[in-house]
Structure 1
Amino acid sequence: MKLLEPWKLALIALGIVLFMALVIGLLVYFLLFDKEIYFYNAAFTFTNIPYGPDLEKQTSKQFRDLSTGIETLVTRTFRDSSLDKKYIRSHVVKMRPDGSNGPRVVAEVVLMFHFASRDNIAALSERVKSLLFRQVQTTMGYLATDPSTFTLSETKKENGEHMLNNCCGMRTSKLPAYTDRVTGGTSAQDGAWPWQASLQLRGSHRCGATLISNTWLVTAAHCFRGQRDPSQWTASFGTVIQPPKSLRYIHNIIIHEQYADNPSNHNNDIALVQLSSPVEFTSEIRKVCLPEASQVFPHNTSCFVTGWGALEDNGECVNNLQQAEVRIIKTDICNREEVYNGVITPGMVCAGYLEGKVDACQGDSGGPLVTADTRQMWYLVGIVSWGDECAKKNKPGVYTRVTYYRDWIATKTGI
């Protein structure tokens, strides 16, 4: 038997490798990339839930509890079905009264699915509707529904995105599998923290801030020491300072009336910034959820602090937004002699680690400390305020406690 020459064998092997690479590439494309997001609007009427004004606010306990129950049930419906791999999520975007039949509650829900181009979209849409209708007809747990009022319709992608963009606390990118340090942090992905803003004095980054509506930011009062003229300030949005996703001039700056413009006094370190014109909410620019004044964030709650501040004490600010995971520390622990020796007041909250290594730093001031609830909605826990250097042992970051000033924010902004 005549053996093939080595160069012919090499060509055959190369051909096999190229063919396998093409097959694998096509498989990867069809499995991962040949998908499009489809949005649906659903409406459920609940007959055993009386409508009240608290259901108008997405951040109220009543709205959060009812939404959790609805979303959990909808998710379970699809997770236990043939659509499990195609279902992404559901989100309650609005509660309204059922005006025609007394004080009943109508919940409007956005559903998201991944369908491939080869899928029969019409048949899948009917499957989505039939699964939900069957659920409504049988049981929705403790929620009594009126099946005759159930509706479901496909909506354009831009309409679905618009509804989600206008909800507070929504993120578009997932956290990385690790975070080691803003001192001790990692660079944030686009859309990871869409409420983060950079406050810039005459074009230079000075502080962070948090978007709480399309026209209002909340930040730290100490950012404006000696510089309270709104015409000197701008706010930029996006994960990088240069070039920004969007830029706005400042119309008004409101400093807390009891804030003392004194470097040694950290009480009432909160300010509000009104933009000259509204921002347009997108997947990369959104508002955070403001907690109710009564909302409690227990000690050891996992939070994230973000900012463009220095990566080490007395370092330079960076252009890419940094993120770091920290945990809430009990006030009595933070007030120990070896920590902050009794200076932590009710309007402050400590977060970080007593061993140091992870912390906010210079340039992060005014930025957000946030945590997610069970619906993965992100709430503003604190505002970067002060600390003894950066990431120092027994010197965790100290933040302005947002719940303590929640009523003050509402008085000034109506939010």
Structure 2
Amino acid sequence: MLDKSFFTENSSCFNFTEAVVSVWFLGDIQPPSMCHVLISPKSLPYICVLLLVVILAVAIGLGAQYNCIGKFRCRSSFKCIQKSARCNGVFNCKEGEDEYGCVRLSGKKAVLQVFTSGSWRTVCSDDWKAEYGNTTCKHLGFSSYVSSGYLPVAAVEKQFKRHFVSLSHWLSADQVTSLHNATNLREECTSGNVIILKCLVCGTRASYGPRIVGGNASSPQQWPWQVSLQFHGLHLCGGSVITPRWIITAAHCVYDLYLPSSWSVQVGFVTRQDTQVHPYSVEKIIYHRNYKPKTMGNDIALMKLAAPLALNGHIEPICLPNFGEQFPEGKMCWISGWGATAEGGETSETMNYAGVPLISNTICNHRDVYGGIITPSMLCAGFLKGGVDTCQGDSGGPLACEDMSIWKLVGTTSFGVGCAEENKPGVYSRTTSFLDWIHEQMEVNLKSGY
């Protein structure tokens, strides 16, 4: 990386030449002997330009390699590998990330797909055995398994029925090669059916006939996945239960407070004075390695609990959405938390909740709203007229949407301008943009045994 000080108006071509000579010395190539300056002063500007062109060309070349166009980029090193080398049972990346995230659930029905031979393929029911379900869930990072079933190919979304594969002899989740060796490529499913999978009972709650401003007080068991993240015993952020051991929250909540022993998690209560609730210790904190504090990009994090939660109706996980699942503009979803009920106010003693409609990124990026800072991995929800919003203390909490009586975590509270202001709706990290990352972290930790 070049320091921009090289190009200030006070710098000279000599500075530039020194930099190049320094680079020569760093390698094994010795620079030519320069006892006397044999270059005419008039030619110095041209040499400077030439050196600049060479350095920029090298930088562009390295950049193209790092972008890995058409290839898989190893996050742990400056290395690109062919897509066909991903999920083939060989660890090509330094930290082995090319052999994780090889399984996903797609579309509204949670159709099983695996990555093999360089592309994602939908799993046919041909040769499928029920015992394969447990292995598959472990590849998704779940320690549990509920059931697998069949779905007609005609009922699958178009984008998930272009390529097919069947699995056989897939019984060991501990051997990475098992997936690669178990796949048989197919042009179509002989059975006419594909596999749907369920790894965890989630997204359910008791039946009920608005950081929350303009909201209502919650009832027990209404939002059983909502947690309070407490730093040295003080409520700091919200979060969502996604498995008995994993909490999802915002990276900005933990970025500068990265010490698990300082945190505790409380869940299963509505009023903060409830003395019957005991805190759960945090074993590990993982925030997205590409989190950008200035732009709030990739504002997502995971907490692993030291012991699993006891699911009991008051405490239940919310479902993650599936890959490619869409939630339409205008759909009413729900926010909850103990955040302030007015901008600049104290956090609430009682959990509040509110309904907010989803807003398209096109509208949210309008110059009168957020003026182009909303990225595809972000999601807006709220009323442009203001009045209902998340606020301080709600960060990391859920944006939950109901779909066919199942609640799904569509977003995680990230940021906003003020609280409930006109043309400044809440901004959330879009869960579907981070499914690969979430499942990879869970899978790595499950296989590593920590």
By the TM > 0.5 criterion, same fold?
yes
- The counterpart of 1:294, out of the listed 321, 324, 341, is 324
**Equivalent in the alignment of 1:251:** 283
**Equivalent in the alignment of 1:403:** 432
TM-superposed CA distance for 1:412, in Å, is 0.4
Distance 2:272 2:201 in 1: 25
**Equivalent in the alignment of 2:338:** 308
Matched letter for residue 174 of structure 1? Y
TM-superposed CA distance for 1:225, in Å, is 3.5
Mapping of residues 134-213 of structure 1, within 5 Å: 167-175=201-209, 182-213=212-243
Distance 2:252 2:431 in 1: 16
**Equivalent in the alignment of 1:61:** 108
Matched letter for residue 435 of structure 2? R
- The counterpart of 1:240, out of the listed 247, 251, 271, is 271
Change in Cα spacing, 1:302 to 1:188, as seen in structure 2 (3 Å) is: same
**Equivalent in the alignment of 2:411:** 382
Distance 1:283 1:57 in 2: 28
Distance 2:343 2:109 in 1: 43
Change in Cα spacing, 1:284 to 1:355, as seen in structure 2 (3 Å) is: same
Tell me the percent identity.
41
Change in Cα spacing, 1:63 to 1:399, as seen in structure 2 (3 Å) is: closer
Distance 2:353 2:323 in 1: 26
TM-superposed CA distance for 1:226, in Å, is 1.9
Compute the TM-score of the two structures, normalised by the length of structure 2.
0.55
Change in Cα spacing, 1:389 to 1:288, as seen in structure 2 (3 Å) is: same
**Equivalent in the alignment of 1:160:** none
Q: Would you say the 8 A contact 1:200–1:234 is kept in 2?
A: yes
Q: Would you say the 8 A contact 2:106–2:325 is kept in 1?
A: no
Q: Would you say the 8 A contact 2:237–2:397 is kept in 1?
A: yes
Mapping of residues 15-414 of structure 1, within 5 Å: 61-62=108-109, 94-95=147-148, 167-175=201-209, 182-238=212-268, 239-243=270-274, 245-260=277-292, 262=293, 264-374=294-404, 376-414=405-443
TM-superposed CA distance for 1:242, in Å, is 2.8
Distance 2:290 2:281 in 1: 26
Look up the SS of the partner of 2:214 in the other structure. Answer: coil
Q: Would you say the 8 A contact 2:107–2:323 is kept in 1?
A: no
TM-superposed CA distance for 1:167, in Å, is 1.5
Change in Cα spacing, 1:59 to 1:171, as seen in structure 2 (3 Å) is: farther
TM-superposed CA distance for 1:270, in Å, is 0.2
Q: Would you say the 8 A contact 2:240–2:397 is kept in 1?
A: yes
TM-superposed CA distance for 1:245, in Å, is 3.4
Matched letter for residue 62 of structure 1? K
Distance 1:293 1:382 in 2: 14
Distance 1:406 1:202 in 2: 30
Distance 1:181 1:411 in 2: 29
Look up the SS of the partner of 1:269 in the other structure. Answer: coil
Distance 2:105 2:437 in 1: 19
TM-superposed CA distance for 1:246, in Å, is 4.2
**Equivalent in the alignment of 1:42:** none
TM-superposed CA distance for 1:280, in Å, is 0.9
TM-superposed CA distance for 1:302, in Å, is 0.7
Partner deviation per Cα, 1:54-106 (whole Å, 9 max, x = no partner): xx999863359xxxxxxxxxxxxxxxxxxxxxxxxxxxx74458xxxxx9xxx
Give unpaired runs (5+ residues) of structure 2.
1-102, 112-145, 151-165, 167-199
Distance 1:59 1:215 in 2: 23
Look up the SS of the partner of 1:336 in the other structure. Answer: coil
TM-superposed CA distance for 1:309, in Å, is 0.1
Q: Would you say the 8 A contact 2:202–2:318 is kept in 1?
A: yes
Matched letter for residue 251 of structure 1? E
Distance 1:406 1:58 in 2: 10
Look up the SS of the partner of 1:171 in the other structure. Answer: coil
Matched letter for residue 332 of structure 2? S
Q: Would you say the 8 A contact 2:211–2:340 is kept in 1?
A: no
Q: Would you say the 8 A contact 2:255–2:287 is kept in 1?
A: no
Distance 1:57 1:342 in 2: 31
Q: Would you say the 8 A contact 1:384–1:398 is kept in 2?
A: yes
Q: Would you say the 8 A contact 1:173–1:189 is kept in 2?
A: no
Q: Would you say the 8 A contact 1:173–1:191 is kept in 2?
A: no
Give unpaired runs (5+ residues) of structure 1.
1-55, 65-92, 98-102, 104-165
TM-superposed CA distance for 1:292, in Å, is 1.1
Compute the TM-score of the two structures, normalised by the length of structure 1.
0.59
Change in Cα spacing, 1:96 to 1:335, as seen in structure 2 (3 Å) is: closer
Distance 2:254 2:385 in 1: 31
Matched letter for residue 310 of structure 1? A
TM-superposed CA distance for 1:319, in Å, is 1.9
Matched letter for residue 196 of structure 1? Q
Distance 2:429 2:370 in 1: 15
TM-superposed CA distance for 1:293, in Å, is 2.2
Matched letter for residue 429 of structure 2? T
